[in-house]
A and B are shown apart, each in its own frame.
Chain A
Amino acid sequence: MKKLLATLAVGLSASLALAGCSASTGTTPTSSGPVTLTFWHGYTEADGKVLDKIVEDFNKSQTGITINTTTKTWAVIGDTLLPALTAKQGPDIVAMPAENLPVYAAKGAFAKLDDFYASDATRSAALRPAAVEMEKVNGSYYGVPTGFVPLSVIYNKTLFEKAGVASFPTTWDEWVAASKKLTVDKNGDGTPEQYGLALPDHGTVGNGVWPSLFYGNGGGLVDGSTSVLNSAENVETLTYWANAVKNDKISPTGLDGVASDKLFSSGKAAMEVGGPWMASVATENKIDYGVAAIPAGPKGSAASAIGISAAVTSQADPAKQAAAKKFFDYFFTREVATEWSLGSGWPPLRTDIDASALSSNPLVATLTELVPDARPLLPGVANSTDVLAAMDEATQKALAGGVPADLLATASTQVQQALDN
């Protein structure tokens, strides 16, 4: 009996992990009358307050629709969305990093929005085509863009001045040269106290730092359903930057996006590739900052975009879906789109908003100028998680001393397997 109980105890303890994997089934009743929707988003800074105000204004403008927003971090949304939706306790609208949208859309978690894009209101909204491209999976639209901003470089003007770097670099060679000047190893122990650049080798901001560099040399990650990760251009790019980090020590290795932010905000790195929120982080840390485009690679200027998409979940019944589309119509009106852009610090999602309307926020004005170089990250790729994981492994190993060609070849095989699945 004791043995039996012991075995049962072992079984039950191990089963706790299993319990989390089980899915429930059920149906959602169709709503009638007033509609109440829940909207999860991860805008946790000032942008969140602006979005909440926009939702509040929308609610006031409606008689039968109420949207309740819930703010969580993007990571928490990623961890809780699946169990919440399978338990029918999830949101009706959810915002998430755009590269994650195809993962959920391909599995049937989101409602199609083709009719929304076919409507007159949306067509006249002149939405940015590159941003809309993020929402397409297997020929259908599953979300709307709520953010589309190119990665850019934020730099510490004070450190630039101290190092005698008069202007921001515009090419890779100039970028590395400036980074070398800005790298300081006072005690000569081989570990700089200040780095020219914080270059993360995995888990980069918006997963976009390495794609940006690959694009700059004419490379990429995926072409349709084929991996191009091991292209000659990518090998050249990875070799170039691995040498700069290993030989010139312009950046520490082993950084992820968060560590990179920390290095910049603590004044230990003069430059970082980041998103618009870094401007407020720099201000909080009393850093006199500037924002500029990622310097052009041998084949031109390019930047991966940080994209945020909002989708209507399959949990929402037709009435809620219609209400959500009504909110999206409101969100993309010229007035609200401008308000959202200025308040969030992200470039406007409409192409027809005049530059003069953005002049009150110089950061938005600068980033808007950079938008034409921005490319969506892995649009429509359902296995984006695998692609990004393979890329991260290759870049991290390369900066730690591995052979870029071999690493990219291995990564490309993994990516192709994932795409074939």
Chain B
Amino acid sequence: MTTLTRPGRGYRPPAPLGGRPRSGRQTSIAILFLLPALVILLAFVAWPMLSALRLSFTNSSGFGVEEWVGLDNYVRVFTDPRILSTLGTTAVYTVMFTPTAIVVALALALLLGHPRLLGRGFFRTALFLPFIVSLAVAAFAWTYLLDPQVGLLNYWLRGLGIQLGNVLQDPNLAMPTVVLVAIWKSFGFYMVIFIAGLQEIPGSLYEAAKVDGAGPVRRFFHITLPQLSNTLAFVVVFAMISALQAFDQIYVMTGGGPYRTTQTVVMEVYQEGFKKLNLGLATALSYVLLAATLVLSLIQFRFFGRREEDNS
């Protein structure tokens, strides 16, 4: 069995997720610098959050008198089968989106990180471009492309003898389609982060591994992935949060249909809050989503933190 060579002198491993220990003075200075932003966050985010928390215990519609209903809204979130189904739909969306987007982004980052690849600047830019387009705008464009009657994609595929059909109204294909659009939109961003992470890995590690006879797959799993763990943790958590908040392209492309197969939690929050004026229920559902996001994020930080410890 080949033993991988330890990094040479002068190599400084990336900081663990918990950060390097800092002195109390450094922390105070850091907080001082953060203070203006924190004040803004408190006024425009924390306070509305607390207001929303209060609303979640009421039957508020935004108008007239509101009554305190205790935990009724939360009970309804966990007992109403229609609302529960949106939690399931969101989980499906997240499971489809997060790993796929990350694998695609990482694969392309590895490919485009190759120094001898011709035109890699062009490809990087081209693949990153969808990220700067608003998701709603991208969704409109995709809706037209996929239109079964007048859509270009259907027209081209028909020429090849492929009948795509009305994918956005197909209960089996609508969800993969909206996931695909979200991946197309966001993988460029994750790719750029991965490229930055890959550039931080010292070349000497790969050279040493090559000397020891490690092949590309072994180098990937024993050098690239461990060295990328911080970047990976960030991307996984970021991708998961954006998946749990899926709304824009679903609102534009399917409106939650067909038959609520793409009705995610945020779509339900929107419909309860803005269409049915049940602000209490909508905020309760938002808080359940917030709790789920927090729990999942902490689990992931813990997982990646443990891997970091194992690798160091």
Contacts and interface: CB of A to CB of B under 8 A. Distances in A.
A341 interface: no
Contacts of A11: 290, 294
B100 interface: no
Interface string B254-276: 01011110000010010101111
Interface string A61-98: 00000000000000000110011011000000000000
A263 interface: yes
B259 A21 contact: no
A108 B61 contact: yes
B149 A262 contact: yes
A19 interface: yes
Given A7-B297, A10-B297, A252-B148, A21 B290 contact: no
A266 B27 CA distance: 65
Given A23-B279, A397-B259, A18 B286 contact: yes
B257 A396 contact: yes
B234 to A, nearest CB: 9
Contact of B293 (A14, A108, A386): A14
B150 to A, nearest CB: 6
B298 interface: yes
A14 B289 contact: yes
A123 interface: no
B49 A82 contact: no
Contact of B17 (A3, A12, A17, A19): A3
B18 interface: yes
Given A78-B275, A107-B63, A13 B241 contact: yes
Interface in A1-55: 1-3, 6-7, 10-23
Given A79-B274, A254-B166, A15 B290 contact: yes
Contact of A21 (B237, B276, B283): B283
Nearest to A313: B63
A253 interface: yes
Interface residues of B, number: 60
Given A107-B61, A254-B258, A314-B63, A21 B269 contact: yes
Contacts of B170: 254
Contacts of A2: 17-19
Interface stretch (B40-48, B131-139, B196-204): B40-48
A41 B102 CA distance: 45
Given A252-B166, A254-B258, A396-B258, A22 B55 contact: yes
B290 A18 contact: yes
Interface in B277-297: 277, 279, 282-283, 286-287, 289-290, 293-294, 297
B94 interface: no
Most-contacted residue by chain B among A1, A21, A254 (CB, 10 A) = A21
Given A2-B17, A254-B169, A386-B276, A12 B52 contact: no
B60 interface: yes
Contact of A259 (B51, B149, B298): B149
A375 interface: no
Contacts of B60: 23
B119 interface: no
A180 interface: no
Q: Interface of chain A, helix or strand or loop or mixed? A: helix
B177 interface: no
B294 A14 contact: yes
B274 A104 contact: no
Given A11-B294, A263-B149, A18 B17 contact: no
Contacts of A85: 62-63
A10 B19 contact: no
Given A15-B45, A18-B283, A259-B149, A253 B166 contact: yes
B45 A86 contact: no
B125 interface: no
Contact of B45 (A16, A259, A383): A16
A108 B63 contact: yes
Contacts of A350: none
A171 interface: no
B245 interface: yes
Interface string B2-33: 00000000000000011100100001000000
21 contacts: A2-B17, A7-B294, A10-B294, A10-B297, A12-B41, A12-B46, A14-B289, A15-B48, A21-B55, A21-B273, A22-B48, A23-B62, A82-B62, A103-B277, A107-B63, A109-B63, A191-B163, A253-B169, A254-B170, A393-B259, A396-B259
Interface of A: 1-3, 6-7, 10-23, 78-79, 82-83, 85-86, 103-104, 107-109, 189, 191, 202-203, 252-255, 259, 262-263, 266, 268, 314, 383, 385-386, 392-393, 396-397, 400, 414
- For the complex of A and B, 8 pairs with smallest distance between CB atoms: A254-B169, A108-B64, A107-B61, A2-B19, A22-B51, A19-B48, A108-B63, A254-B166
Given A13-B241, A21-B282, A255-B169, 19 more contacts: A7-B297, A14-B241, A14-B293, A15-B52, A19-B48, A19-B49, A21-B52, A23-B279, A79-B274, A86-B63, A107-B61, A107-B63, A107-B64, A109-B61, A259-B147, A262-B147, A263-B149, A314-B64, A396-B259
